[in-house]
């Protein structure tokens, strides 16, 4: 059974700091998606990673995929309040399985 | 505007009273899916549809029904709702299924918050 684990589940960080969210999965896959959910809102696509070593960047967020380690990371650089949201990874391995989400709060 | 529209957005009902949550997309997407979101459990798939008249169970299908009579619509039916179906529901669609080749990003509806008393 495919399992997708995100760490941490909750992250409170100060503006200007850097941090990384981890997404581990239990089976072979070379496709992974990151979504963002603002409080009370729907999910929006952030990144699509389609191969081993894929790296995508958008503003202060950078996502990478290591299929051999079955690991994706979402790195936050110099966090700002607008990044406060819940972030989900979703692994595509014959079926799409979402992680439990990481709730990020950025404070001044 | 390309979008997935769900209705109702909020609903409070009582145990056993049948209800339908509608979902419509205007992007000519082949694939549609329903998820429920519960605290600490992420998103879990209820049902999905690869195309018109083709539906299949996801991970948590018990207590739900769906139909896909038209490409654009994918209603979720709760024949006899129970309190454990209190949740936030999302409909999503993509041009092709997530597990086909290429990047098949899901477009999500705004969500429907259901409370069953």
Q: Quick one: closest CA in A to B91, which residue?
A: A42
- How long, in residues, is chain B? 117
Strand order through the sheet with A19-25: A4-7, A19-25, A71-76, A61-66, A55-58
Q: Quick one: closest CA in A to B4, which residue?
A: A42
Residue B32 CB contacts under 8 Å (≥ 6 apart), including other chains? B23, B25, B48, B49, B68, B74, B91, B92, B93
pLDDT tens-digit map of A19-57: 999 999 998 888 999 999 998 899 999 999 998 899 999
Q: Does A100 contact B40 at a Cβ distance shorter than 8 Å? A: yes
Residue A21 has a pLDDT of 97
Task: For residue B108, give the 3-state DSSP assignment.
Answer: strand
Strand partners, A73: A22, A64
- B-chain residues within 8 Å CB-CB of A102? none
pLDDT tens-digit map of B49-85: 999 989 999 999 999 999 999 999 999 999 999 999 9
Q: How confident is the model at residue A96 (pLDDT cuts 50, 70, 90)?
A: confident
Q: Which chain A residues touch B if contact means CB-CB below 8 Å?
A: 4, 9, 31, 33, 35, 41-45, 48, 50, 88, 90, 92-96, 98-101
Residue A23 CB contacts under 8 Å (≥ 6 apart), including other chains? A4, A5, A6, A32, A34, A71, A72, A73, A74, A89, A91, A99
Most B CBs within 10 Å, among A49, A87, A96, A100, to test the B interface: A96
The residue among A1 and A39 whose pLDDT is bigger is A39
Which among B42, B45, B109 is the nearest to A100, CB-wise? B42
- Distance of alpha carbon A69 from alpha carbon A40, whole angstroms: 33
Nearest chain A CA: its distance from B5 CA (Å) = 11
Which residue has tokens 């200007």? A16
């Amino acid at each position: 059974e495919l399992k997708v684990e995100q760490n941490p589940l909750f992250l409170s960080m100060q503006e200007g700091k850097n941090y990384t969210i981890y997404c581990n999965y239990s089976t072979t896959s070379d496709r992974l998606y990151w979504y963002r959910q603002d409080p009370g809102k729907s999910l929006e696509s952030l990144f699509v990673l389609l191969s081993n070593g894929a790296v995508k960047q958008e503003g202060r967020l950078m996502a990478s995929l290591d299929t051999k380690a079955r690991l994706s990371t979402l790195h936050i650089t110099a966090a700002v309040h607008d990044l406060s949201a819940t972030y989900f990874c979703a692994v595509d391995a014959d079926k799409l399985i979402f992680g439990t989400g990481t709730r990020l709060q950025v404070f001044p | 505007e390309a979008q997935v529209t769900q209705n109702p957005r909020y609903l409070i009902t009582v145990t056993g009273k049948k209800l339908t949550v509608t979902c419509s997309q205007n992007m000519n997407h082949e694939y549609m899916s329903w998820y429920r979101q519960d605290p600490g459990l992420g998103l879990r798939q209820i049902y999905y549809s690869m195309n018109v008249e083709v539906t299949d169970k996801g991970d948590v299908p018990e207590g739900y029904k769906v139909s896909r009579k038209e490409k654009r619509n994918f209603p979720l039916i709760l024949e006899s709702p129970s309190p454990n179906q209190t949740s936030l529901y999302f409909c999503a669609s993509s041009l092709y299924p997530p597990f086909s080749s290429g990047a098949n990003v899901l477009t999500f509806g705004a969500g429907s918050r259901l409370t069953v008393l």
